[in-house]
Structure 1
Amino acid sequence: MRLAFMGTPDFAVPALKALHEAGHEIAAVYSQPPRRAGRGKKLTPSPVQKLAEDLGIPVYTPVSLKSAEEQKAFSALKLDAAIVAAYGLILPQAILDAPKMGCLNIHGSLLPRWRGAAPVQRAILAGDNETGITIMQMEAGLDTGPMLLKAVTPIGNKTAGDLTTELADTGAALMVQYLASPAEYPAEVQDDALATYAKKIQKSEARLDFSNSAKQVERQIRAYNPQPGAFFEYEGNRYRILKASVNDGQGAAGKTLDDRLLIACGTGSIQSEIIQKAGKPAMELKSFLNGTTIPAGTNLQ
């Protein structure tokens, strides 16, 4: 098929690679414009743009697709379909309608649960047992279009980073499967009554709230790993907890129960396992405690 691919972050990379390897003609790749990153604030292309350039595929990075000029250029590609994976721009109706098969989205949840920007993190925070990938036909609403194909993934004790990587690979394989024989997968209308919304993650949410149960705090740690990183503050320094386990120790919420970062929560406690001080590399607890002392009875914020 003659395709356009529209994506930006690492999540979208496996899909672009898989579609290319499957022999589809990728006429163009659309990605968000390069952003300034790193200490030198150098303009850095997105992961999808980097791969597309390596594959020799033309890349377009418009700041918007609302102009008649952009829409005309997109229509001129004469596409069978456009494949979208975490692109990050709203697609106007003219873009949605241009390809013969429309625009197909790789979404990181089992729709209609967790429509929106942060389905992986919200699924972990909610304590869901499973999530997955939905291949869907895009329409003007936010992740409201008909569902074409699904795959289920257990969440277990995975971090958002681990789960995103797994779902990216699943989504790539599922999209290749769908395009190989679209007629085999009739569209299923979503039940709006079952919909939940996965709002964008705010950095302020990453501050650990030890008044919650230990189970919820541990979910918060996994949901915000690797970004933005669940944290507490102690003596003016910020510490990210990247891994922890639930413990049944009890005490005043936010107080350390020993000198090995066992922290009391509203119910139960969490045992810190991997810690990262701001500006320092992440460390296993034993190594961290060799250079940092946080005594028992300390109130963490």
Structure 2
Amino acid sequence: MVVVAYGVIIPQAVLDLPRLGCWNIHASLLPRWRGAAPIHRAILAGDRETGVCIMQMEAGLDTGPVYFCEKTTISQFDTAGTLHDRLSDMGAQAIAKAVKLAAENRLATPHNQDNTRATYAHKLIKSESNIDWQQPAADIERQIRAFTPWPGSQTNIRGENIKIWQAQVINQNNHKLIPGDIVYADAETLIIQCAQDQLKLLEVQRAGKKRMAIGPFMRAKSDWYSHE
């Protein structure tokens, strides 16, 4: 039996039924990011690489021995969506490899995980999608990518509730402003001060509307910059 992203701990009595046990395709480099949201947590943490592991399931949460892992780099442009799709392809190839090796009696004995190095990828909750401008711009930019396509990262700017889908860190500070203040705005640009550095918004979404580039959004917000 093969399981992927099942979300429920399977009883040991069930795990013992198949002759070769139950295998899991897990989207992280175990023991890092055991749990429900390994892709999102890897991006949030600023990890440079991740991957998929083929593991033997046991009653614990992603604690079983690992047959092998395949790695991939997390780029500065990866979102949870792009990384999910890449890891899905890698997982399909990895499980096919594992089945072939097992059929040929060439699958190596799985190795136990180092529990002292384990971290947990707790399930996302919607309140995490709220942007805290008291955080560094780099952390917020990672949050935006980690929460794309779900649940999105939302904020309120001058009374307008918006989701931010893409942004760029600007390594500058204006110490006269507080986090969340607009640094600069014109018909094509919106830059927000963060606790450290600034964030240039590139793609946003108004409540109930479609995603759009920042230019069309700002051209409808001339009152934000016409007097600045």
TM-score by length of 1: 0.69
Distance 1:99 1:172, change over 3 A: same
The aligned residue for residue 119 of structure 2 is 196
Match of 2:92 in 1: 172
Q: What letter corresponds to residue 121 of structure 2 in structure 1?
A: A
Q: Which residue of 1 aligns with 2:75?
A: 156
1:223 aligns with 2:146: yes
- Contact kept? 2:9, 2:60, Cα under 8 Å: no
The answer for the alignment partner of 1:290 in structure 2 is: 219
Measured after TM superposition, the shift of residue 95 of structure 1 is 1.3
Retained in 2: the 8 A contact 1:146–1:188? Answer: yes
Q: CA offset at residue 209 of structure 1? A: 1.0
- Partners of 2:79 and 2:164 lie apart in 1 by 12
1:285 shift after superposition: 1.1
Shift of 1:294: 6.7
Structure 2 unaligned blocks of 5 or more = none
> Higher mean Cα deviation, 149-158 or 246-255?
246-255
- Give 2:12's aligned residue: 93
Cα separation, partners in 2 of 1:181 and 1:232, compared to 1, 3 Å: same
Amino acid corresponding to residue 245 of structure 1 in structure 2:
Q
Q: For the structure 1 residues 185 and 292, does the alpha-carbon distance in structure 2 shift closer, same or farther, using more than 3 Å as the test?
A: farther
1:72-91 maps to which residues of 2 (within 5 A)? Answer: 82-91=1-10
Q: In 2, Cα distance between the equivalents of 1:234 and 1:120?
A: 29
Is the 1:256–1:295 contact (alpha carbons within 8 Å) kept by the matching residues of 2?
A: no
Shift of 1:276: 0.8
Which of 136, 150, 162 is matched with 2:55 structurally? 136
1:257 equivalenced with 2:183 (yes/no):
yes
TM-score by length of 2: 0.90
* TM-superposition CA deviations, 1:244-292 (whole Å, max 9, x none): 1110231321111111220111110111111011111100111222223
Whole-angstrom distance in 1 between the partners of 2:161 and 2:5 = 30
| Corresponding residue pairs, total | 215
Asked if structure 1 preserves the Cα contact closer than 8 Å seen for 2:9 and 2:61, the reply is no
Residue 39 of structure 2 aligns to a residue whose secondary structure is helix
Q: Partners in 2 of 1:272 and 1:95 — Cα distance?
A: 49
Q: Deviations over 1:62-113 (max 9, x none)?
A: xxxxxxxxxxxxxxxxxxxx11011223211121111111110010100000
State the alpha-carbon separation in 1 of the partners of residues 65 and 40 from structure 2. 23
Return the offset for 1:184: 3.0
Partners of 2:88 and 2:222 in 1: CA distance: 39
Residue of 29, 54, 57 corresponding to 1:110: 29
The answer on 1:212 being equivalent to 2:131 is no
Query: 1:294–1:232: structure 2 CA closer, same or farther, 3 Å change rule?
Result: farther
Alignment of 1:15-26 (within 5 A): none
Shift of 1:235: 5.0
- Specify the SS of the correspondent of 2:216: helix
SS for the counterpart of 1:184 is: coil
Give the superposed CA RMSD: 1.3
Structure 1 residue ranges without an equivalent (≥5): 1-81, 297-301
- Contact 1:254–1:265 under 8 Å retained in 2: yes
For residue 222 of structure 1, give the secondary structure of its aligned residue in structure 2: helix
Distance 1:119 1:139, change over 3 A: same
Query: Which has the higher mean CA deviation after the structures are superposed, 200-209 or 247-256?
Result: 247-256
Q: Relative contact order, CA 8 A, sep 6+: which one is greater?
A: 2
For structure 1, which segment, 153-162 or 182-191, has the greater mean C-alpha deviation from structure 2 after superposition? 182-191
The amino acid that maps onto 2:179 is A
Query: Percent same amino acid among aligned pairs?
Result: 44
